[in-house]
Amino acid sequence: MTKHLHSAALASAIALIGGMAQAEVTLSVLIDNNPETVAAMEGLTAAYTAANPDVTFDIEQRAGGTEGDNIVKTRLATGEMADIFNYNSGSLFQALKPEQTLADLTGLAGQANVLDSFKQVVTAGDGTVRGIPFGPAMGGGIFYNRPIYAELGLSVPKSWDEFMANNEKIKAAGKVAVAQTYKDTWTSQLFVLSDYFNVQAEVPTFAADYTANKAKYASTPAAMRGFEYLEAVNKAGVLNEDFGAATFEDGMRMVATGEAAHYPMLTFGIGTVKQNHPDNLADLGFFAQPGPDAAKNGLTVWMPAALYLPAGGENQEEALKFLDFVASVEGCQAYIAAAGASGPFLIKDCALPDDVPQAVKDMLPYFQTEGATAPALEFLSPVKGPALEQLTVEVGSGIRPAADAAALYDQDVEKQAKQLGLPNW
């Protein structure tokens, strides 16, 4: 009996000591399930906990695309959002009603390290800054398999006609010219969204006119072209047979390993290849989406996603300290160490390593050339309709004509513009 009491007392003492030794704060984090996002957040949180042993993290992953949008909005609306979460900047950020749902980060010390070009895309309607950058800037364009290009003697295309001519040569060689991955519906949007540099080159006022309800996709030939490109690759018979069932990770695998010659995508896909197919990283090249005029070739640029805090979160003080770390050069380097550098970062003095992948090297000249980049439309206009990815799947699958999809998308964005209370709608 005495022995049993001693054992119980010892167990209690051990439990008490264990409780004292445990972390004082556990911060919950909600992130999307992209491999680069996961690797980066795991690296950042591990580095932070190493320096702050009393803080640990509980990381939860969510889907991307429309499903992910709904998860974020629902959790914010019900007060069940994690202490820290990552989400898009630009128009999707504005759709969160940030003045009401997100903590004000204007006074965060780390904002001094953040480039102004990024602050603009996480600034709420009341002028307050609500996020910090999480990851590098991205290009939207076309990944290509360098060994296939070398084998067939192809050159990087500067016009859409040159691109389609390359596709015909690849098809004639018995290879898949363009990978498409419509199981992940969001991936179907790239030919439309990555074409914005070309739209702006032809119609410089499109973003302002579109926001003011003076320009439409269906009635602006330059803007409609992206839908027509989707239609063209389907009609040309140059896609992978399983385009309806393939996923984003399948697409990156195919273009990296040579199962396909091209994959239209954002450059964050480089991180996925680094994680899943590191031996093929040097085989991955990248070029901006070509338009009608080879002389006006340039890159459509996406600002990175951001980290946000929900308004009124219970661990806000500790969460703010973590965001300060992420916005520092030290935090930026921790990100690169964990997930690599798939583009330039928006943190001052955060240098890229010398050994960046070939696809990043392919992207940097656009950033280094005056006038060779333009922000994606979603960073110039708050108007983006939720149905785009369904419509682009239909066009890319040969189910709906490009012109019909553009007209339906114009109707879709009208709802969004009215919800945002934009004038002239």
pLDDT, position 305: 96
pLDDT, position 22: 52
Give the other-Cβ count within 10 Å of 372's Cβ: 16
Taking the model in full, what pTM does it have? 0.79
pLDDT grade, residue 44 (50/70/90)? very high
Average pLDDT over residues 367-391: 91
| Eight-class DSSP state of 28 | E
Residue at token pair 């060689």: 173
SS3 content of the chain, % helix, strand, coil (to 5): 50, 15, 35
Average pLDDT over residues 116-121: 89
pLDDT grade, residue 6 (50/70/90)? low
Average pLDDT over residues 366-379: 90
User: Rounded to whole angstroms, how far apart are CA atoms 71 and 8?
Assistant: 45
Taking phi over 0 as left and psi of -120 to 50 as alpha, with beta for the rest, 219 belongs to alpha
In sign, the C-alpha dihedral spanning 185, 186, 190, 192 is positive
- For residues 272 and 339, the answer to whether their CB atoms sit within 8 Å is no
pLDDT, position 352: 92
Average pLDDT over residues 195-222: 97
User: Rounded to whole angstroms, how far apart are CA atoms 144 and 147?
Assistant: 9
Share of the chain above pLDDT 70, in %: 95
pLDDT, position 188: 98
Mean pLDDT lowest for which of 135-144, 164-173, 183-192, 341-350? 341-350
| Eight-class DSSP state of 159 | B
pLDDT, position 270: 93
16 half-sphere exposure, CB direction, 13 A CA radius: 6
Average pLDDT over residues 91-108: 95
- For residues 395 and 243, the answer to whether their CB atoms sit within 8 Å is no
Q: What is the SS3 assignment for 400?
A: coil
pLDDT, position 154: 98
Average pLDDT over residues 378-406: 95
Domains along the chain with CATH numbers: 2-137+305-358 (3.40.190.10), 138-302+361-419 (3.40.190.10)
pLDDT grade, residue 66 (50/70/90)? confident
Average pLDDT over residues 129-144: 97
pLDDT grade, residue 19 (50/70/90)? very low
Between 142 and 7, whose confidence is greater? 142
Give the other-Cβ count within 10 Å of 227's Cβ: 27
Q: Is the pLDDT of residue 397 over 90?
A: yes
pLDDT, position 5: 43
Distances in Å between the Cα of 40 and the Cα atoms of 119, 136, 182, 339 are 21, 11, 26, 5
373-375/25-32 β-pairing: unpaired
pLDDT, position 50: 97
Share of the chain above pLDDT 90, in %: 84
Q: What is the SS3 assignment for 204?
A: coil
Average pLDDT over residues 51-76: 96
- For residues 192 and 402, the answer to whether their CB atoms sit within 8 Å is no
Q: Is the pLDDT of residue 11 over 70?
A: no
C-alpha 262, offset from chain centre: 19
Helix axes of 388-396 and 221-235: crossing angle, nearest 10 degrees: 40
Q: Is the pLDDT of residue 14 over 90?
A: no
Mean pLDDT lowest for which of 24-38, 57-71, 134-148, 368-382? 368-382
Average pLDDT over residues 139-166: 98
Average pLDDT over residues 44-56: 97
Residue at token pair 């393939």: 246
Average pLDDT over all residues of the chain: 93
pLDDT, position 416: 86
Phi and psi dihedrals of 31, rounded to 5?
A: -130, 160
Q: Is the pLDDT of residue 199 over 90?
A: yes
pLDDT tens profile 245-271: 999 999 999 999 999 999 999 998 998
pLDDT tens profile 307-332: 999 999 999 999 999 999 999 999 99
Q: Which of 308, 306, 304 is nearest to 99 (CA)?
A: 308
